[in-house]
Amino acid sequence: MSSPLLETYNRVNLTFTEGSGAWLKSSEGNYYLDMGSGIAVNSLGHANLELTKALTEQAQKLWHTSNLYQIPSQIELATKLVDSTFAEKVFFTNSGTESIECAIKMARKYQCEKGEFKKTDILTFEGSFHGRSMAAISATGSEKLTKGFSPLLPGFKSLPFENSDMLEKLSFEDVCAILIEPIQGEGGIRRASKGFLKKLREICDRTGALLIFDEVQSGVGRTGLFFAFEHAEVSPDIVAVAKGIGGGFPMGCCMSSAKIGESMAPGSHGSTFGGNPLACAVGISVLEKIFSSGFLASVSDKGLFFKNQLHDLVKKNPSVFGSVRGVGLMLGLKCIKENISIVRHAQNNKLLVVPGGDNVIRLLPPLNITYDEIEEAIRRLTKSASDATGDE
Ligand SMILES: *Cc1c(COP(=O)(O)O)cnc(C)c1O
């Protein structure tokens, strides 16, 4: 049957009608344990009571006015972000791609305002994913995303991941910024080492390039710290955020230091929807939870518990899984069997996991998942592994 939708996704034949916490109910009345959270989006689970209350209360008052007027909840949300992170300036967007666009524009503008007119190149890394706009696919540079969309935007160079020697040999005369995910999400939960991130900071300090972290997937508590880069004790100049910050409501933001933010004067950038009252009401509610006492520590603890069980799972199923990756509740299982087939077996066992690059399956549960649910996920993964062992 032909669909009225662009066929840009290979959707599985599964429809969900409602959800609660880490559980989704299908149109056939089955309950699925959701270890994907809509790709790291439903950070506080489905139908979260506080978020629902924040959204519906706001919906009864005011939905949208535009950025022509004052939006106090934007300032409240931005203040929460600024008070708890490296950043001093925040721009609100509606998606990860838009946050990346803002980050790239801001980096270029900053160099231009400084009179560094040659500094326009953005360096990125193999296996990265930064979104689907022309700039974002040009940044990623992989054939899979760019084929058929030429001409790509100039000024982007993709480098090998984790190769410091190669970076040392480059001239940085024309380099505006380095853009990197501290943990690649789509690329298969590939974590940049502390040493590599420190090296990038050092090169940027030496050459005047800016360091941009794409924390669209890894940020907002997912790894047990607010940002994944905090594990490496490296401070960026600009960070792109989205996915988890809206808990399911489409929103994102781009954050920077004051000196970089100040290069963006009135008229230099904008968004009709960005930071509207509905989004901000939800964002504030998400951050209240994430920043509440003990919450991030609980994400770390659950992440460790989950990771230990996954190590066992790998040991017991060496023909199916190769290794465990990631930190906090941003975990991956490198597969020996084809990852897509394991995703399918998991689905048959009413467990939702997300495939990633490098033959990995991603486990990105809601951050408030319970220990019992983690154990249930392990039981379903164990069953899925034994089902996969039966294939040949
Ligand atoms: C999902 C993702 C994006 C793109 O976000 P959209 O909201 O789909 O535009 C960019 N960067 C990373 C690291 C992502 O995981």
- HSE-CB for 302 with a 13 A CA cutoff: 27
Q: What is the mean pLDDT of residues 241-252?
A: 98
- The per-residue pLDDT for 29 is 98
Distance CA 124, CA 86 (A): 22
For 341-363, the pLDDT digits (tens) are 999 999 999 999 999 999 999 99
- The per-residue pLDDT for 141 is 79
Q: 3-class secondary structure for the chain?
A: CCCCCCCCCCCCCCCEEEEEECEEEECCCCEEEECCHHHHCCCCCECCHHHHHHHHHHHHHCCCCCCCCCCHHHHHHHHHHHHHCCCCEEEEECCHHHHHHHHHHHHHHHHHHCCCCCCCEEEEECCCCCCCCHHHHHHHCCHHHHCCCCCCCCCEEEECCCCHHHHHHCCCCCEEEEEECCEECCCCCEECCHHHHHHHHHHHHHHCCEEEEECCCCCCCCCCCCCHHHHHCCCCCEEEECHHHHECECCEEEEECHHHHCCCCCCCCCCCCCCCHHHHHHHHHHHHHHCCCCHHHHHHHHHHHHHHHHHHHHHHCCCCEEEEEEECCEEEEEECCCHHHHHHHHHHCCEECEEECCCEEEECCCCCCCHHHHHHHHHHHHHHHHHHHHCC
For 294-333, the pLDDT digits (tens) are 999 999 999 999 999 999 999 999 999 999 999 999 999 9
Cα(1) to ligand 1 centroid in Å equals 30
- The per-residue pLDDT for 392 is 61
Cα(239) to ligand 1 centroid in Å equals 13
Beta carbons of 333 and 363 less than 8 angstroms apart: yes
Q: Hey, which residues does 325 pair with through a beta bridge?
A: 332
- The per-residue pLDDT for 303 is 98
For 159-183, the pLDDT digits (tens) are 999 999 999 999 999 999 999 999 9
Q: Is the pLDDT of residue 391 over 80?
A: no
Q: Which residues, other chains included, contact 151 with Cβ-Cβ below 8 Å and sequence gap of 6+?
A: none
Q: What is the mean pLDDT of the chain?
A: 97
Beta carbons of 21 and 368 less than 8 angstroms apart: yes
Distance CA 334, CA 372 (A): 24
- The per-residue pLDDT for 317 is 97
Q: Which of 8, 190, 217 to mutate to test the pocket of ligand 1 (most atoms within 8 A of CB)?
A: 217
Proportion of the chain above pLDDT 90, given as a percent: 97
- The per-residue pLDDT for 2 is 83
Nearest-10 Cα torsion for 264, 267, 272, 275: 30
Distance CA 268, CA 220 (A): 27
Q: Is the minimum distance from the CB of 228 to ligand 1 under 6 angstroms?
A: no
Point out the ligand 1 atom lying closest to the alpha carbon of residue 96. Answer: 5
Q: What is the mean pLDDT of residues 203-230?
A: 98
Tokens of residue 266, six digits: 């009135």
Cα(20) to ligand 1 centroid in Å equals 24
For 13-40, the pLDDT digits (tens) are 999 999 999 999 999 999 999 999 999 9
Q: Is the minimum distance from the CB of 217 to ligand 1 under 6 angstroms?
A: yes
Q: Which of 8, 93, 95, 97 to mutate to test the pocket of ligand 1 (most atoms within 8 A of CB)?
A: 97
Cα(29) to ligand 1 centroid in Å equals 31
Q: Which residues, other chains included, contact 335 with Cβ-Cβ below 8 Å and sequence gap of 6+?
A: 320, 321, 322, 342, 359, 360, 361
Q: Is the minimum distance from the CB of 181 to ligand 1 under 6 angstroms?
A: yes
Q: What is the mean pLDDT of residues 65-92?
A: 98
Q: Is the minimum distance from the CB of 97 to ligand 1 under 6 angstroms?
A: yes
Q: Which of 138, 186, 218, 354 to mutate to test the pocket of ligand 1 (most atoms within 8 A of CB)?
A: 186
For 218-238, the pLDDT digits (tens) are 999 999 999 999 999 999 999
Nearest CA to ligand 1 atom 5: 96
Confidence label for 8 from pLDDT (cuts 50, 70 and 90) = very high
